[in-house]
Structure 1
Amino acid sequence: NFELEAIAAAFIGGASMSGGVGTVLGAVIGGLVLGVLNNGMNLVGIGTDWQQVIKGLALLAAVGFDVWNKRRAGA
């Protein structure tokens, strides 16, 4: 569980999938975003299994955005 959150926090904070440089501030911001997401899902009453799915989708969205940005910048 913590592995997914640590990796997601780094990617949401701006670390690049292709081996770029991430920053500590970016990772902290990514962690705060995930913390707010977790808290909101708990307050709404979403089950633990669905919370994992939603966090995984947020990770996929962050990675997809990074790949899209790299392709757009290279084209």
Structure 2
Amino acid sequence: MIGGTSLAGGVGRITGIVIGTVILGVMTSGFTFLGIDACYQDIVKGGIIVAAVAADQYRQRRRRKA
């Protein structure tokens, strides 16, 4: 997912977790700077996490077919 560890198993790395955390932190700071309501911030962050999970599932399916 965001930190680099797949829901289907695998190995996560500290660098992936740090990069994912930094990305979400920068997004939160940017949204706050722009004056976007916290409710909308959560919706966007949730959408990004859902998109990351969907992309990971798609990648796992393609890997199994090959």
Q: Same fold (TM over 0.5)?
A: yes
Amino acid at match of 2:40: W
Q: Which residue of 2 aligns with 1:21?
A: 11
| Offset of residue 30 of structure 1 | 0.3
CA RMSD, aligned part only? 0.9
Gaps of 5+ in 1: 1-10
Quick check: 1:68 aligned with 2:61? no
In structure 2, runs of 5+ residues without a counterpart are none
Cα displacement string for residues 29-75 of structure 1 (whole angstroms, at most 9, x for unaligned residues): 00011011111111111101111111110110111111011111111
Normalised by the length of structure 1, the TM-score is 0.80
* Runs ≥4 residues deviating over 3 A: none
- Which residue type is aligned with residue 57 of structure 1? G
Per the TM alignment, residue 14 of structure 1 is displaced from its structure 2 partner at its CA by 1.2
| Structure-1 separation of matches of 2:33 and 2:51 | 23
Identity %: 42
Larger radius of gyration: 2
Quote the Cα distance in structure 2 between the aligned partners of 1:69 and 1:29.
Answer: 20
